[in-house]
Amino acid sequence: MNCEQSKMHELTVTESLLEIALKHAEKANAKRIVGLNIVIGQLASIVDDSVQFYWDIVSQDTPAKGASLHFRRQPAELICSTCQTVYLLNQKNFNCPQCGSQKVKIHSGQEFFLESIDVE
């Protein structure tokens, strides 16, 4: 993904966050959204600063204007296809710490979701 595609991806993602937050705030009869709690997996291709930048633009003229974005990074976990060990991603290599195998799958760490919203 080139830089321009990444920017468009994050704009679309941010617009989706706003849509979801506004829908839930409306269901709760909230007057204003004051915060969003967002989970981003270590391997997700989402950049916090870009989401914040776009948030400040897309939330203008909405009940979410000025809402704080709180990002929580979720560590990546791998699962060994040989011995089924689940372990945290080591930045130096992907090898299983139990058996040394390089046959691994991503178990978690690609998440991106809105965990909760804070409203008034």
Which domains occur in the chain, in start order?
3-119 (3.30.2320.80)
Burial zone of 56 (CB within 10 Å; 0-12 exposed, 13-18 middle, 19+ buried): middle
Please report the DSSP string for 34-50 in residue order: EEEEEEEETT----HHH
pLDDT the model gives residue 4 = 52
Q: Whole-angstrom Cα distance, residue 45 to residue 115?
A: 18
Cβ-based neighbours of 50, under 8 Å, separated by 6 or more: 6, 7, 10
Residue 93: which pLDDT band, with cuts at 50, 70 and 90?
A: confident
Report whether pLDDT(61) > 50.
Answer: yes
pLDDT the model gives residue 91 = 74
pLDDT the model gives residue 92 = 79
Report whether pLDDT(116) > 80.
Answer: yes
Report whether pLDDT(3) > 80.
Answer: no
pTM: 0.83
What average pLDDT is seen over the chain?
92
pLDDT the model gives residue 16 = 96
pLDDT the model gives residue 2 = 45
The answer to whether residues 69 and 51 touch, using CB atoms and an 8 Å cutoff, is yes
Burial zone of 52 (CB within 10 Å; 0-12 exposed, 13-18 middle, 19+ buried): middle
Cβ-based neighbours of 79, under 8 Å, separated by 6 or more: 85, 86, 87, 104, 105, 106, 107
User: What single DSSP character describes residue 31?
Assistant: S
